A and B are shown apart, each in its own frame.
Chain A
Amino acid sequence: MESPRPQLSQIELQQLRWFLGGLIGIVSAWTVFYTEVDAMLPLGVITLTVPVFVVYPVLSQALPALFHRLAFPFIVSVFALDLWGNRQPLPAMIRLDLMLLGYRCLSPRGRREDLQLILLALFVVVVTGVSTISPAFVVQILFLTGAALGLLLAVTLSESRAASLADNVFGWEQVSWRDLLRRLWATADIRVVALAGTLFCGVVLLSALLFLALPRFEISNDFFIGGQINKSSRTGFSENILFGELNKIAQDSGMAFAVDVSDPGALPAELYWRMLVLDEYSGQGFRASAGLRNSFSPSREKSVVHGGIGRAREDRTVWTIYYQPGVSRYLPLMGGFSRLYFGAPQSLSQSPALRIAALPSEPAQMVGYRVEGMDTDGVLRDRLFAREHILPAWDSPRARMFFNHAALPRESAEDETSVGRAGGGSEPNFLELNGVALGDLDKLRAWVTEIGGNGAGGPEFARSAGAWLQARHIYSLDSTTPAGEGDVIVRWLDSREPGHCELFAGSMVLLARVAGHPTRLVTGFKGGVWNSTSGSITVRNSDAHAWCEIWDEEIGSWVRIDATPGAQITPSNTAAEIKAGASRMEQDTGWSARLDGVRVFWYRRIVNFDQTAQLELVRGTKDQLRTIMLAVRELVDTRLRKLVEWFWQPWRFLRISVGAASLGVIVAGVWFWRRSGRFWWMDWRSLRSGSYRQDPVRREASRWLSRLQSRADLLVESQPPGLVETRGRLLRLRYGSREGWAPPTEVFNEARRQLRMLVRAKRPNSKKI
């Protein structure tokens, strides 16, 4: 009984090291999945082989010596070729790290190799974590820290007992992970585990406090890894969208972006997040014409962007958007805005006329930005367009003045296939029908006639056309365009097939243009759900949508038109709809909402954490602490005051009796618990326990035996009567059959009494014993 607890044997420590090393290798390697580094081969090899080698370590011993001899030259050669071929140092280094990691996980390891493994894992986790800045990084780094600490502890324990583990291969063929788990459980001391857990939490807390206190900096901009690991677009929002592409995006339920709103009550009933405006019809889809692309200003690095054309300048609502990587380089915005902020200077180009802002490339990591004074009503005033293009209806006399009908293909002998452009090649043209063949154009004209509304304004025509479309086609995500020759839209319009948003929006654009109304296709997201966990809006890729904007010359603005069934064709202008509030939105309360909430918290507090937010958080924490302290002080003061008041009240017999009785009950309760209660409780639990570790009587007996053992010096000098007998009874409680037990309560009380007598006997001038 020298050691208080059993310990893991040498071979068990070896097995633990092997297991932890393999686990660290696998988990750290998998972090590369978050990046776009092409490392599928080493990742695949690690994923397939390492788990097998971890479970069956004997395989590691079976590897031929030639494998170990050739491994390092092979890895170095592959790295050199990789570097030479791809000219990208960081991805090559990550692949090199993965290869080394894989080799270290497969081959037998000693202390040095274990330390190498930890360093390799740390490298890959930190590099991928810093480059992606995803919430998973926290989980990975915490896991790696815990596992690496466990591995280092196992290394220290085993190295203190033996010279080298790598040479000792005994027992590998007999590894039983279940037994190892059982032994770990048996040897784990709850106090040590609790202490380790507390220390770990303390370190994490301290790190968090340091994080709060440290000056902010944009990590990706300050390190060389920014831009080295680019993540390509996941969803395909680009300047050239073919019909069906957006529909594919809608199949993905991943989060596209999250939005914090300073005033949830200001949320409109329908949220349309504009990302791209497309004007040129290609026959297979829409694309941005050269003129449209030219309307973007050159990229400039800045922290604050002044939109200057948001009508809602008086609106103090602040929208903070956490934009996921890989969606698109175009930022989702609902309309014009007065100001747009980034946490750190950011390259941005914008088209004020289109109310579109774009980053230079798809961001590889989350981008956070705040927007103030954003228009949400679906009406975009465009004074420039109104001044430069006086656009009457197609058949009106004014139109003939502005559009050279003689140049139209119907009247042109030179080009019989397409409608001529009204404007110059470098200007966006929202009336263009280049991609429509003549025959198809006739059909479109016939449908426009059928729809009617000649001479009406754009929105009026759109409402009529929308109703006409919705009467002919129903909405379906699984819809396909009818086979055949000719224009896709015309073929679909000619049929009664169901359609998706792109077909409805595309049809609306063509019909409106034929009717003489400047119209453009808009892609982005519609809607979103209110995440009550995080108090934010979650917009998923499945919310991807296409709609169009039609020119309303009455008000000189572009008006949103959504012809897709189920949607309101033109925006509502009632106050109740414009400010419907979050309660009107679809609520998301499931597990995915909680995960999204964690992600938003990460973005709010970690990634998008600038100095302003830092100050806010520190002030908030300070205020919270002060509030809690004040509340506690008030509570204590109140209780004390009441106690004092109660004490100074006249002491009548009843009060004295109640007080004495209460005190007596408490004292008796404590005395009873200490004397018998806890042992009864222990005995009761002992009967239900299945093993020594769960048997409180055996554990308590063990404790008393240890105490007696620790007082061996006293035992030598004086032997109180009955001590040997008590020790025998304790031994029986600890090691004996339950049937032969004396009542544990009596034995423990006796042991306490004996020990007290021993201690008293030891005191100087003691007369007892």
Chain B
Amino acid sequence: MSDHYSANQLSVARESLQKIRVSMRGTIKGKDTVIDQVLIALVAGGHVLIEDLPGVGKTTLAYALARSMDCVFSRIQFTSDLLPSDVTGVAIYDETIKEFVFKKGPVFANIVLADEINRATPKTQSSLLEVMDRGKVTVDGQAHAAGTPFMVLATQNPVDYEGTFPLPESQMDRFLMRLHMGYPQAADELEILRSARTGYDSIAMDPVVTRSEILQLQKLAEQVFIEETVLDYILRIVSATRTEEDFRAGVSVRGGLALKHAAQSRALLEGRDFVVPEDVAALVVPVLAHRLTLVRPVSDGMEERRMVGAILKRIVSSLPAPV
């Protein structure tokens, strides 16, 4: 909410985002909403947890995003024997210079795909905490900056709990959004079936925006104006989750800030330099749902997510938006 910027900046930003959107839509069929939400997270500088069944295009989405930008992409396949150093990197002794040299891990990229993150041990999962929070990795007392922009796209399977370690709440809170891919529509799936492509490595995409453009977009998103009544609307939603008796605990302050940043990014994506209440309402479930747990636990993870989403929608519908 700093100074207002020019109409030219706004149109350039909109054009850049439109280019990424078109590029990704060429690869990911029938998932326009998810693409938009991932773009919102990117512009807001947040991380995304994509939770869905295997084989619905989670990895492809991350890959398509990375390839649409002039960015470094890396993928980490999380397994139970993965060590933190396998993620962050390790200092090894270099005989030639007689010193320990830091060998960067896969986290040092712009877009990091943390595939099946819940298969790693909590210790390894936690190795992502610092880099997700600060964009830096500290090894042996030395901080090493990750790429800018930096975004973690983590995936996890909500059904198969065999040999998984659920993400702790503190880790969940670091993700800006939790998204669901869902099965594609029949027409879209038919088109996917027609294509000869078998893996995401065979996807041919050219970058449509540069890294500096992404950074500029992130800077602009921070300047998107939020009027007082819209801020109050966010506050009321967050407060309502704290007084809702079905939730064990309400949304944290970080959650409220995440909703605000996401709303600003959505406004930019829509070509506006101000936030409207619809921006907030549309992002309540993806931004807040993974931060909330039910008082009465439900054995089925999918059912719990559905119930949390339903309660959040009820809260949004019960709170009048500012007009």
Do these two chains interact? Answer: yes
CB distance from B123 to the nearest CB of A (A): 36
Q: Tell which of B4, B276, B320 touches A739, judged by Cβ atoms closer than 8 Å.
A: B4
**Which chain B residues in 297-323 approach chain A with CB under 8 Å?**
318-323
Q: Is A85 interfacial (CB 8 A cutoff)?
A: no
Is the CB of A5 closer than 8 A to any CB of chain B? Answer: yes
Any B CB within 8 A of the CB of A6: yes
> Judging by beta carbons under 8 Å apart, are B227 and A706 in contact?
no
> Contacts of A698 on B, CB cut-off 8 Å?
227
Q: Given A9-B236, A735-B227, A737-B225, are A3 and B274 neighbors across the interface (CB < 8 Å)?
A: no
Across the A-B interface, give the 6 residue pairs with the lowest CB-CB distance, nearest first.
A3-B320, A736-B274, A739-B4, A737-B225, A1-B323, A737-B4
A residues near B276, Cβ cutoff 8 Å: 731, 735
Interface centre among B239, B240, B276, B322 (most CB of A within 10 A): B322
Q: How far is the CA of A116 from the CA of B319 in the complex (A)?
A: 31
Min CB distance A170 to B, Å, is 5
Residues of B within 8 A of A168 (CB): 245
Show 16 A/B contacts (Cβ-Cβ < 8 Å), sorted by A. A1-B277, A9-B240, A9-B319, A170-B243, A170-B245, A186-B232, A692-B227, A692-B228, A702-B323, A706-B323, A731-B272, A736-B225, A736-B273, A737-B1, A740-B225, A740-B273
* Beyond known contacts A5-B320, A732-B272, A736-B227: 20 more, CB 8 A cutoff: A1-B277, A3-B321, A4-B323, A9-B239, A9-B240, A9-B243, A170-B243, A186-B232, A692-B227, A692-B228, A692-B322, A728-B272, A735-B227, A735-B277, A736-B225, A736-B274, A737-B1, A737-B225, A739-B4, A740-B273
Residues of A within 8 A of B (CB): 1-7, 9-11, 161, 168, 170-171, 186, 691-692, 698, 702, 705-706, 728, 731-732, 734-737, 739-740
Query: How many interface residues does B have (CB within 8 Å)?
Result: 27
Residues of A within 8 A of B227 (CB): 692, 698, 734-736
Residues of A within 8 A of B322 (CB): 6, 692
Are B274 and A5 touching (Cβ within 8 A)?
A: no
Establish whether residues A2 and B236, one from each chain, have CB atoms under 8 Å apart when the complex forms. Answer: no
Residue of B nearest to A167 (CB): B245
Assembled-state Cα–Cα distance A5/B322 (Å): 7
| B275 CB contacts on chain A under 8 angstroms | 735
A3 touches B225 (CB 8 A): no
Task: Using known A-B contacts A11-B243, A171-B243, A691-B228, determine if residue A5 contacts B4 with beta carbons closer than 8 Å.
Answer: no
The CA of A585 and the CA of B251, in the complex, are separated in Å by 74
CA distance A731 to B275 in the complex (A): 9
Q: Is the beta-carbon distance between B273 and A7 smaller than 8 angstroms? A: no
B239 in contact with A3 (CB, 8 Å): no
A664 to chain B, nearest CB (A): 39
* Bound Cα distance from A691 to B228, whole angstroms: 8
Name the residue of chain A whose CB is nearest to the CB of B236. A9
Best-surrounded residue of A186, A705, A731, A740 (most CB of chain B within 10 A): A740
B204 CB to nearest chain A CB (Å): 36
Q: Which residue of B lies closest to A699 (CB)?
A: B323
Please name all residues of chain B whose beta carbon is closer than 8 Å to the beta carbon of A691 when the two chains form the complex.
Answer: 228
Q: Is the beta-carbon distance between A2 and B225 smaller than 8 angstroms?
A: no
B49 adjacent to chain A (CB < 8 Å): no
**A731 touching B274 by the CB < 8 A rule?**
yes
Cα separation A459 to B76 with both chains bound (whole Å): 123
Instruction: For residue A753, give the distance in angstroms from its CB to the closest CB of chain B.
Output: 22
* A158, chain B: closest CB distance, angstroms: 13
- Contacting residues, chain A, for B236 (C-beta < 8 A): 6, 9
The distance from the CB of A192 to the nearest CB of chain B, in whole angstroms, is: 14
CA distance A702 to B321 in the complex (A): 12
Q: Is the CB of B243 within 8 A of A2?
A: no
Q: Is the Cβ of A705 less than 8 Å from the Cβ of B323? A: yes
A686 to B: closest C-beta gap in Å: 13
Of residues 61 through 85 on chain B, the ones whose CB sits less than 8 Å from some CB of chain A are none
Q: Is B229 an interface residue (CB 8 A)?
A: yes
Question: Do B274 and A2 touch (CB < 8 A)?
Answer: no
B267-302 interface bits toward A, Cβ cutoff 8 Å, 1 = contact, 0 = none? 000001111110000000000000000000000000
Hey, which chain B residues are within 8 Å of A3, CB to CB?
Answer: 320-321, 323
Interfacial chain A residues near B228, Cβ < 8 Å:
691-692
Which residues from chain B contact A731 at a C-beta distance below 8 Å?
272, 274, 276
Residues of B within 8 A of A692 (CB): 227-229, 322
Inside 8 A of A5's CB, which chain B residues have their CB?
320, 323
Contact flag A7-B320 (CB < 8 Å), given A692-B228, A731-B274, A736-B273: yes
B117 at the interface (CB under 8 A from A): no
> Which residues of chain B come closer than 8 Å to A9, judged between CB atoms?
236, 239-240, 243, 319
Whether the Cβ atoms of A6 and B243 lie closer than 8 Å is: no
A726 to B276, CA, bound (A): 15
Q: Are A10 and B243 in contact (CB under 8 A)?
A: yes
B111 at the interface (CB under 8 A from A): no
Residue of A nearest to B318 (CB): A161
CB closest chain-B residue, reference A705? B323
**B243/A732 in contact, CB under 8 A:** no
In the complex the two chains form, what is the Cα distance from A332 to B164 in whole Å?
Answer: 98
Residues of B contacting A4 in the complex (Cβ-Cβ under 8 angstroms): 320, 323
B240 touches A735 (CB 8 A): no
Chain A residues closer than 8 Å to B319, beta-carbon distance? 9
CA distance A4 to B323 in the complex (A): 6
Q: B57 to chain A: closest CB distance in Å?
A: 33
Q: Which residue of A lies closest to B5 (CB)?
A: A740
Residues of chain B in range 206-231 having any CB-CB distance to chain A below 8 Å: 225, 227-230
* Closest A residue to B6 using CB positions: A740
Taking CB atoms, residues of chain A closer than 8 Å to B272 are 728, 731-732, 736
Assuming A9-B240, A171-B243, is B321 touching A1 (CB within 8 A)? yes
A171 CA / B4 CA spacing, docked (Å): 38
B residues less than 8 Å from A6 (CB atoms): 229, 232, 236, 320, 322
Cα–Cα, bound, A1→B279 (Å): 12
- A705 proximity list for chain B (CB < 8 A): 323
Question: Chain A residues near B273 (CB, 8 Å)?
Answer: 736-737, 740
Assembly CA distance A3 to B275 (angstroms): 18
Q: How far is the CA of A171 from the CA of B240 in the complex (A)?
A: 11
Closest to A6 in B: B320
Task: Please report the C-alpha to C-alpha distance between residue A703 and residue B316 in the assembled complex, in whole angstroms.
Answer: 22
Contact B274 A732 (CB under 8 A): yes
Nearest-Cβ distance from residue B277 to partner chain A, whole angstroms = 7
| Bound form: Cα–Cα A736–B276 in Å | 8
Distance of A219 from chain B, by nearest CB (Å): 48
A11, A732, A735: the one within 8 Å of B230 (CB):
A735
Q: Report the minimal beta-carbon distance from A306 to chain B, rounded to whole angstroms.
A: 73
Q: For residue A170, which residues in chain B have a CB less than 8 angstroms away from its CB?
A: 242-243, 245
Residues of B within 8 A of A735 (CB): 225, 227, 230, 274-277
Cα separation A5 to B323 with both chains bound (whole Å): 7
| Alpha-carbon gap, A84 to B245, bound state (A) | 49
- Select the residue from A4, A736, A739 with max chain B CB neighbours within 10 A: A736
Chain A residues with CB below 8 A from B225, complex form: 735-737, 740
Q: Chain B residue with minimal CB distance to A7?
A: B320
Contacting residues, chain A, for B274 (C-beta < 8 A): 731-732, 735-737, 740
Residue numbers in B under 8 Å from A186 (CB-CB): 232
CB-CB under 8 A from B277, the residues of chain A are: 1, 735
Interfacial chain B residues near A732, Cβ < 8 Å = 272, 274
Interface residues of B in 3-56 (CB under 8 A from A): 3-4
Nearest Cβ on chain B to A162's Cβ, whole angstroms? 10
Instruction: State A706–B320 Cα separation when bound (angstroms).
Output: 14
Q: How far is the CA of A9 from the CA of B319 in the complex (A)?
A: 8
Tell me, rounded to whole Å, the shortest Cβ–Cβ distance linking B39 to chain A: 21
* A173 vs chain B, min Cβ distance (A): 12
- Choice from B1, B4, B232, B242 contacting A740 with Cβ under 8 Å: B4
A-chain residues with CB within 8 Å of residue B318 when the two chains form the complex: 161
Q: Which residue of A lies closest to B224 (CB)?
A: A737
Max chain A Cβ within 10 angstroms of own Cβ: one of B1, B3, B243, B323: B323
Chain A residues, CB < 8 A from B323: 1, 3-5, 702, 705-706, 734
Instruction: For the complex formed, measure the closest distance between the CB of A758 and the CB atoms of chain B, giving whole angstroms.
Output: 20
State A731–B229 Cα separation when bound (angstroms). 13
Tell me which residues across on chain B come within 8 A of A7, comparing CB atoms: 320
